[in-house]
Structure 1
Amino acid sequence: MKPQLASLLLATLAFPIPAAQPPGVRAEVIPVVDTIPDDPEIQKVIAPLAEEIKASFGQPLVQAPQGVFRGRRGEENPLGYWVSDVMRQAAQPLVGVPVRFAITNAGGLRANLRPGQVKVGDIFELMPFENELVVIELTGAEVIQVVKEGLLRRGGEPCSGVRVKVEGTPQQAVLTVTWEDGSPIDPAAVVKVATSDYLYGGGDSIPTLKKGRRPFTTGVTLRQMLLDQCGALGKAGKDLLPPALGRYTVPVPILEAIRDKTLKL
């Protein structure tokens, strides 16, 4: 069974579509607890599929000798960097032009990739949601504002394509955002940006992403994108390695001010 089909099956079983209620009949809330017995007929249907799902989750994809980890609060996020890099890489052939910037949300990354063999189930644990890859257009000024909003919300959401530096004091901080090669961002230039439908829809308080124009929904889930990337690396005999650090340079006093909601930026 393909991973995306397995995910759809699990979602359907977990959240069945309720039947329409006859007029005048009030719905009753029934708590879902361990004491509710399993329906034997449903179990007959689920059992073979569950075995197939379990087997697919154990499928090896790639070796990650160092692992790829989320940073603790205030630290850089190599796992998020990898996800955002893969988003940019996956988006470019789909739109046929360079994608200059990608952003994901650290809160959506639910597990680390620990050293050793990465399996299908590990990617499902990392990305348990059905969020899809979306490509939008933003101006350079809007890209900088997106970075700023992510910085103020969580000390910097994982990005690809830019370098971010904050200098000064918490009372008078200066934010500098450049492209990854150090070149300045033209505020008026229009660029392609890869993100998720969750963030584009307003999730995680990055409102400028909602201004994105000409949205292109790829139909590819972020999870499937990561599965494909790991599978391609494994088939090529390459290891999954964490990206280099240095995308965010933020002094500790400013990180503390972000945490305390006192930063003036």
Structure 2
Amino acid sequence: MQTKLYKIIVLIVISLLLNKIVVSCKEKNSELKTIRGNQIKIGDELEPNPAILKEIQPYHDSLQSKINEVLSYNPQSLSREESPLESSLGNFYADACYLAVDTVFFKEKNKHIDFALFNYGGIRTMIPKGNVKVEDIFTLMPFENKLVVVELPGSTVQLLFDYLASRKQAHPISGLRISLKNGALVHIKIQGQNFDVTKKYWVLTHDYLQHGGDNMSFFTQPLSLYTSSFKVRDALIGNLKQQDTLHASLDNRFVQID
């Protein structure tokens, strides 16, 4: 782990030191004269530089202690591939994000978020059984995605449901109870109420998807947009810190009807 972290920090340092630009300055004009660069191969054969290692050691030690912090205990291995339409990991993911943002959103807007949707591909790995560390959450969610809330008309939310029906994947959702039958969603309930295409809904997602990532174009032109102060990773870490044991399970929020 130390060697891996060392290489990451060395890459950052090298990016700052290499490719220096020499500028010839005159009294009135600055003219680019020369660009010099050296290529250094980064691989297993790279030997630690004692001088650089000494310089970055305090940062290494600080980072090492933070990523090894134990957040909670996970009694079972969690994977996004647990079942075709739903996973315990996805349920934990979506619920944790919903709980983190909804409390703040209600205080500011006096409204609750109706439901949350994230993408199956955004979950990059599993959470193994045992102590869950900060490092595990960084591996699970390595991106800097920020949580946002979009206001959508019912007609656009219908496009969202059409997307879920066509993809047939265990996308993390919260606040929804939906059933798939003959390629279409039926029995759609949002916070226990039947979906009404004439209503407007507040939907939690993150900024990558709000910009159309994973072909979720229905998020790109909301009636209004609320940007929270939470990153997805921070919401997950905060949720785990509040519970000694990670509680995640399937609850039939997205099912197939024969």
CA distance in 2, matches of 1:59, 1:41: 28
CA distance in 2, matches of 1:112, 1:224: 17
Matches within 5 A, 1:1-265: 13=12, 16=15, 21=21, 23=32, 25=34, 30=39, 32-34=41-43, 35-72=45-82, 74-96=84-106, 97-153=111-167, 155-168=169-182, 173-176=183-186, 178-180=188-190, 182-234=192-244, 239-250=245-256
Residue 102 (structure 1) shift: 0.5
Q: Identical aligned pairs, as a percentage?
A: 26
What are structure 2's unaligned runs of at least 5 residues? 23-31
CA distance in 1, matches of 2:174, 2:139: 22
Counterpart AA for 1:61? L
Contact 1:199 1:209 in 2 (8 A): yes
Residue 75 (structure 1) shift: 4.8
CA distance in 2, matches of 1:231, 1:192: 27
Counterpart AA for 2:12? L
Residue 140 (structure 1) shift: 2.8
Deviation string, structure 1 residues 157-194 (Cα, Å, up to 9, x no partner): 221111222212xxxx3322522555311112112111
What are structure 1's unaligned runs of at least 5 residues? 1-5, 253-265
Residue 66 (structure 1) shift: 2.6
Counterpart AA for 1:240? L
Q: Name the residue aligned to 2:27.
A: none
CA distance in 1, matches of 2:175, 2:94: 9
Moved more, 137-146 or 174-183: 174-183
148 and 29 in structure 1: CA distance in 2 versus 1, 3 angstrom threshold: farther
181 and 93 in structure 1: CA distance in 2 versus 1, 3 angstrom threshold: closer
Moved more, 27-36 or 10-19: 10-19
Counterpart AA for 1:243? S
Higher-Rg member (1/2): 2
Contact 1:83 1:226 in 2 (8 A): yes
Contact 2:69 2:133 in 1 (8 A): yes
Q: If each structure's strand is expressed as a fraction of its own residues, which one has the higher value?
A: 2
CA distance in 1, matches of 2:34, 2:63: 38
CA distance in 2, matches of 1:141, 1:11: 51
RMSD: 3.0
CA distance in 2, matches of 1:10, 1:163: 45
Contact 1:71 1:78 in 2 (8 A): no
CA distance in 1, matches of 2:58, 2:152: 47
* Aligned residue pair count: 237
Contact 1:141 1:186 in 2 (8 A): no
